[in-house]
Structure formats: C-alpha cells, structure tokens
Amino acid sequence: MLASYVNGTGHPASAKADKIQSITGVMMGCFLLAHLHFESSILLGKDAFYTVVQFLEGGMFSSTGHGFPIVTKVFSVFMLAVVMLHAAVALRRFPAQLGQWRALRRHMAVINHKDSQAWFWQLVTGFVLFFLVPVHLFTMIANPEIGPNLSAERVYHQNAWLLYALLLPAVVIHAMIGLYRVAVKWGFTEKRTGLRKLAKVLIIYLIVIGLLSLGSYMLIGSELTLPVEAYRPS
C-alpha cells in the first residue's frame, strides 16, 4: 500500500492505533451521511428544517416544543474530540519529510493503483480538513443556535459560505474514501471495484445535495434584513 511505501516498511502502525483510526473514521463518516441529509431538509422549506432542528435538539422534552441549543454545543464538543483523536492517530501516516513527499510523487507517477490513488486523495483532503473542520466545530460550539434564519445569516451575512464551499468537497471525498478503505481493510467485502463505484456515486450525490442546501441558505440569507430574528413557524 502507498501508506506503507511512504512511511517505510520498518515502522508498521500498531493494531490499536489502526482500530482507533478506523472506529473514529466510521463514526465521522456515518455522522456526515446523517448531517448532510438533515441539512438538506432546508430544500423542503423553512418549516421542514425547523422541525428537524427541534427534533434533534430534544424539542419533544420541552414544554414549548423548542429544542435545547446546548445539545448542539455538547455534540459539537464530542465531535471535536473524535476529530482530534482521529487526526492524532492518522498523522503517523502523513509524509512529514521532503524525501517522503518525493517518494510519494515517484510512486504515483509510475504505479497506477486504484487504492493507492484513493489513499493519496484521502491524504490531501485530510490535510485540508485539519484546518477547516476545527473552525466549523468551534463556530458551532461558540454559537450553537441554528435554524432557517440563523443558519442563513451565518452562511450569507457572515460569509461562512466560503468555508462551507471548501469544506464540503474535502470532507465528503475524505469520508467516503475512508469508509471504503475501512470496509476493505477489515475484510467486510472483497468486491473492491463495486465498492469504489458506490463511493464515487455517494461522493457526487452528497456534494450535490450539499451544494443545493448551501444555495438555499444563500437565497434565504439574501432576503433577510439585519438584525436577523430566529425563525418561528406561523
């Protein structure tokens, strides 16, 4: 595998670190699948998104039916811890020296190996996410209030669309390749070709619904006047 080639064959990763990386990767991949679909409820209108948010924030346990933003804050802290743990064990495979990067480039130039190419793109997107994901999660921790209007304000008026436009393709590609590699690594399937095709379809599908959702927030945000008030169903 390309990861072993770049990092050398004399220093194999421990089984424990591999398990931690796989478990945290699966957790984040599954969360991303759910998160993008929850976000895409904005495509069905403000009421649909508002209902989803209140459900996820435990609105059924409130006398007013309004959810608890603290739920979003706590879950964001938890996901940040998962991301940090995943990054800590994944960095051992990251080419840290110029010679390793040169070896990586030579390897990619002469060997047309699908899984090696997948690992390369996971490496590149992982580097990008190392900077973007904490920014997104810290934002949610500092300001956990979400809803049709407040989320649109963040995207449009606070220019968060630029962060999300960079984050979306990177996190989708990284997560779907990661789930593919976990399935192959731990022997869940031997049908690599079919699984790679499924990963490509999911990448395209998730990026499309993510971009459509982002476009909806931009449209809603452009129609809002400052200061923005939280949305309440009529």
Please check if 174 is assigned to a binding site: yes
DSSP of 130-194, one letter per residue? HHHHHHHHHHHHH----SHHHHHIIIIIT-THHHHHHHHHHHHHHHHHHHHHHHHHTTS-S-HHH
**Could you give the C-alpha distances from 13 to 3, 113, 129, 185, in angstroms and in order?**
10, 22, 22, 14
Please check if 86 is assigned to a binding site: yes
Please check if 35 is assigned to a binding site: yes
The enclosing H or E element of 44 equals: none
What's the gap between Cα 108 and its chain centre? 26
- Binding-site residues, in ranges, read 35, 86, 136, 174
Which residues participate in the annotated binding site for heme b?
35, 86, 136, 174
